[in-house]
Amino acid sequence: MSSRSLTDLRGRYQNEDQRRHSVGDNVTPDFLERALQRARETLNGPKPPPPFIPSFEQLRIARGDRDVEINSRLRGPPLPSSLSSEDETEVSKLLKKRGVIAKVARLQVTDADISRLRPGTWLNDEIVNFYGQLILERSEASPRNKGVKNGARFEKDTILNVHYFNSFFYEKLSQEGYEKARLAKWTKKFDIFSKDVAAINFRRRRIESFDSMGVRRQDVFNRLREYVELEHLNKKSKPFDWTGWIDYCPRDTPQQENGYDCGVFACQFLEALSRGMDSPFNFTQKSMTFLRRRMILEIARTELLGGT
């Protein structure tokens, strides 16, 4: 048996429900007619413009413009076309000097070597290895790579912790192999796996090849992977973890337009990578004359000027 109060509630809710679904007193035939008239005017009025849908070509151009902007930021400021007048005078004097031009570690460069930095000439191993040694010594002198000082790392220092193998390393690896060439001894005094970039980019997990002749050298990737694997087994006594690693050969690598600038390109790839600059680089074939003359200064002063 329902209580009186429950009956009252049911009646109240039924009345409210009926009012909720009924047409309000304010809705008149005139109101409806005005609404219909506005709808007719909208339908008969000017049509809105169609939505903009870019074509494939427009998308390609927009994306290309965006990539150019991003790449220009990554490259940094363009290189100058020439040295200062004072530096040009110094270079001219150095090219006339005879005998030993500079020494670093156990390496030296003579006037015969430095003359190879004149335009149109191949670089020899002495120039390339001397330049690589300058890159290595700059890395070792970097505060960032000396660890912690006063409880803080030098994060603003962009010089990476790198190692430079001289130009005979890959030749021995290719012709003799890891064991026969006794390449384990080449890393006896340091841990290659603690480096950021050492021909292999441990920082970004990439086997890298920057070829100024535009050739993707799969044999380079294969041999360097084999080297890393054997070196890790030798030093760590376990297989190397290749998770996430890729072979990296960027399409925007600067290209040479002759058969004699390859050594200059190689040195500049090394120098830029050691500063943490990934491709795209800020030099091209047009930069070679300037870079050759700057390299003469750098070698004579035993100091790298790139990035300054």
Full pLDDT tens readout for the chain, 308 residues:
545 544 454 555 455 545 444 445 555 677 777 878 877 777 777 776 676 676 766 665 555 545 444 444 455 677 888 999 999 999 999 999 999 999 999 999 999 999 999 999 999 999 999 999 999 999 998 877 765 444 344 444 578 999 999 989 999 999 999 999 999 999 999 999 999 887 799 989 999 999 999 877 889 999 999 999 999 999 999 999 999 999 999 888 999 999 999 999 999 999 999 988 876 788 999 999 999 999 999 999 999 997 65
Residue 12: per-residue pLDDT: 53
Indicate the number of domains in the chain.
Answer: 1
**Structural domain span for residue 180:** 74-150+160-301
pLDDT score for 36:
80
Q: Is residue 279 part of a domain?
A: yes
Give the whole-angstrom CA distance, residue 214 versus residue 162. 25
| Mode of pairing for the β-strands spanning 107-110 and 206-208 | unpaired
Q: Distance (Å, rounded) from C-alpha 16 to C-alpha 193?
A: 78
pLDDT of residue 93: 97
**Distance between CA 296 and CA 280 in Å, rounded?**
24
Residue 247 sits in a domain whose CATH number is 3.40.395.10
Task: Report the relative pairing of strands 100-104 and 107-110 from DSSP bridges.
Answer: antiparallel
CA-based nearest residue to 279, from 289, 293, 265? 265
Q: In this structure, is residue 60 part of a structural domain?
A: no
Query: Is 307 within the bounds of a domain?
Result: no
Alpha carbon distance 206, 203 (integer Å): 8
Is 20 inside a domain boundary?
Answer: no
Residues near 268 by beta carbon (within 8 Å), at least 6 away in sequence? 281, 283, 291, 306
In a domain, 242, yes or no: yes
Q: Is residue 5 part of a domain?
A: no
Q: Are 111 and 124 in contact (CB under 8 A)?
A: no
Q: What is the pTM of this model?
A: 0.72
Q: What's the rounded Cα separation, in Å, for the pair 272 and 280?
A: 10
At residue 85, the pLDDT reads 96
Q: Does the residue 12 lie in any domain?
A: no
The verdict on residue 43 lying in a domain is no
150: left (phi over 0), alpha (psi -120 to 50) or beta: left
pLDDT of residue 280: 73
